[in-house]
Chain A
Amino acid sequence: MTAASKQPSGAASYVSRPSAINNVAARKHLIALLALLPALVIFCAFWLLPFSRLIVMGAEADRSSGISAYLSILTHRQYLISLVTTVGISLVVSITAVAIAGTVGFFLARQRFFGKAVLAAILTFPLAFPGVVVGFLVIMLGGRQGALAQTSLWLFGERWMFAYSLAGLFIGYLYFSIPRVITTVMAACDNLDQSLEEAARSLGANTWQVTKDVIVPGIAPALLSTGAICFATSMGAFGTAFTLGTRLSILPLNIYGEFTNYANFAMAAALSVVLGVITWMALSLARRLAGGNLGASA
């Protein structure tokens, strides 16, 4: 616009029109690039470059086996088991969270009753609790002094505990996954076209049929996407696992152990890259399904 108006009027401007248009477009892109530059510089210097080095480092020789650390992951039982355990527990947590919180979220989105806002607030406010705090809350539930231990002591005369095991991890991951799913499901239900349900009902469908044929297919992308976010978050949840005990064999704790205890940098790097690739793929899938939600790691 500005570039074009600077052109002299008359026949001359006719001839130079194409270049004037190009100038406008070029200027626009220059401004966009300049605006993006600071963020890109910081990102490249402090993330892209270091992470590229990490990828390279993972190919170096593993301290204990002497072969490339990536290969070492595949050939060592211990790493494979921890990989499978981490993926497994994250999958189970995501599915459970989607099932539980999907039901609750749908209920809250569709029913009007006194006190609903309070319930919704209780269910969503732990959304941004860091992993360490969630770990501590699991200890409050299932530790030596936890709610379960106190109840079982009172009822049966013995302390029941689950906090420092995979069960504790499961409960912790469930704890930070539920608010995410509920928030997403409530939003998805609000966005669901109400007239679809009305149409199904006008054709004679009962509540169960409406749920099965209209609602679940309607919020399926949101459910899958939020499930993938829960999966990625659980995969990388270091804080919770760290609080609950370093003896559990899951990837984040392995990475930490290799780095701090054994100074096995190649192995730590390789495991980080593998973990990063898995969570990145899960989150890409989530974004493709829902577009939008970022999902913070806990």
Chain B
Amino acid sequence: MKSRLRFTLQLGFTLVVCLFMIVPVAMSVIAGLTENYFVGLQSGLTLRWVNEVWQLYADTIWLSIKLALACLLVTIVIGVPAAYGLLRSRRRWANAIEELLLLPVAVPGLATALALLLAYGSYREFRGSWLFILIGHVLFTLPFMVRAVLSVMQTAKLPQLEEAAASLGAGFRQRFFGVVIPNCMSGILAGALMVVTLSIGEFNITWMLHTPLTKTLPVGLADSYASMRLEIGSAYTLIFLVMVVPLLVAIQWAGKLTQQHH
């Protein structure tokens, strides 16, 4: 009886917390689809606001996707070898280097962005291009790719596998592409999902680095929250959720997948 009561109390508390998490999201979704939120749902459902957002902000969405993919490409090309390098370095060095690479995550994005601006802001051409934002995103997401790949490399007993391949006569290139890469695919996948999600949602760095011509989705969101009516902000948020929730689900799924692997 006592345990029954305890269970009910805990479940009730959990449900309250769930409400706290889900109610504002639900309200935002409803607001984005309502004709006039001030009047309420009786004013009717509409896709008008979503359309309007698309007219106003479509370029921010495309830029965010472009940035995320470019960021993914860069983090894979430099992050996977970096993880391998860490795996193969002496423990002390590897720890120190990892600590360094983590700094852009440990330090608030605002500070990183400020540092970038003050150092490279005077290069007009560079400052005004989307590549300037890409730099910020790469700095911020790289540790997530490295960590995801490295942890899979460590649990996959990669050094032993590589030694086995070497004993069979495989050269470095054959080992890297034939043994290393295939065996850390799940880590690359998990890292990739993380990188894309973080890049699409990145605001703190991007807000400082963007120009009127290089607005990303979160920048546009902040813009609409400040200057547009509630319905437009909500519709815009809805579009963002539609883009990012599948990615979050995929991250959880990938996490479970790698867990089962081990």
* Direct A/B contact, Cβ within 8 angstroms: yes
Q: Nearest A residue to B247 by beta-carbon distance?
A: A128
Question: Which of A32, A138, A235: most chain B CB closer than 10 A?
Answer: A32
The tally of residues in A whose CB lies under 8 Å from a CB in B reads 88
**Is A107 among interface residues, defined by CB-CB distance under 8 A?**
yes
Assuming A47-B139, A54-B115, is B28 touching A125 (CB within 8 A)? no
**Interface of A, helix, strand, loop or mixed by DSSP:** helix
Chain B residues with CB under 8 Å of A49's CB are: 119
**Is B54 among interface residues, defined by CB-CB distance under 8 A?**
no
Assuming A103-B10, A124-B252, A130-B218, is B108 touching A297 (CB within 8 A)? yes
Q: Which of B24, B108, B139 contacts A275 (CB 8 A)?
A: B108
Minimum CB–CB distance for B55 against chain A, Å: 20
Q: Quick one: which of A229-271 are within 8 Å of B by CB? A: 232, 235-236, 238-239, 242-243, 252, 255-256, 259, 265, 268-269
Question: Which of A29, A136, A268: most chain B CB closer than 10 A?
Answer: A136
Q: Are the C-beta atoms of B197 and A128 separated by less than 8 Å?
A: yes
In Å, the complex CA distance between A135 and B234 comes to 12
**Is B31 among interface residues, defined by CB-CB distance under 8 A?**
yes
Assuming A135-B225, A236-B109, is B118 touching A39 (CB within 8 A)? no
In Å, the complex CA distance between A53 and B17 comes to 44
Assuming A39-B78, A235-B108, is B6 touching A207 (CB within 8 A)? yes
In Å, the complex CA distance between A39 and B107 comes to 18
Q: Are the C-beta atoms of A39 and B82 separated by less than 8 Å?
A: yes
Minimum CB–CB distance for B68 against chain A, Å: 13
**Residues 280-295 of chain A: 1 if any B CB is under 8 Å from the residue's CB, otherwise 0?**
1001100000001011
In Å, the complex CA distance between A197 and B237 comes to 45
Chain B residues with CB under 8 Å of A119's CB are: 14-15, 18
**Is B201 among interface residues, defined by CB-CB distance under 8 A?**
yes
Question: Which of B20, B21, B104: most chain A CB closer than 10 A?
Answer: B21
Q: Are the C-beta atoms of B107 and A51 separated by less than 8 Å?
A: yes
Q: Are the C-beta atoms of A48 and B147 separated by less than 8 Å?
A: no
**Is B13 among interface residues, defined by CB-CB distance under 8 A?**
yes
**Residues 155-183 of chain A: 1 if any B CB is under 8 Å from the residue's CB, otherwise 0?**
00000000000000000000100110000
**Is B62 among interface residues, defined by CB-CB distance under 8 A?**
no
Question: Which of B27, B208, B244: most chain A CB closer than 10 A?
Answer: B27
Q: Are the C-beta atoms of B105 and A297 separated by less than 8 Å?
A: yes
What are 7 A-B interface contacts by the 8 Å CB criterion?
A32-B88, A136-B225, A236-B108, A239-B222, A275-B111, A280-B106, A296-B198
What 6 A-B pairs come out closest when comparing CB atoms? A236-B108, A35-B85, A36-B85, A50-B119, A50-B115, A272-B111
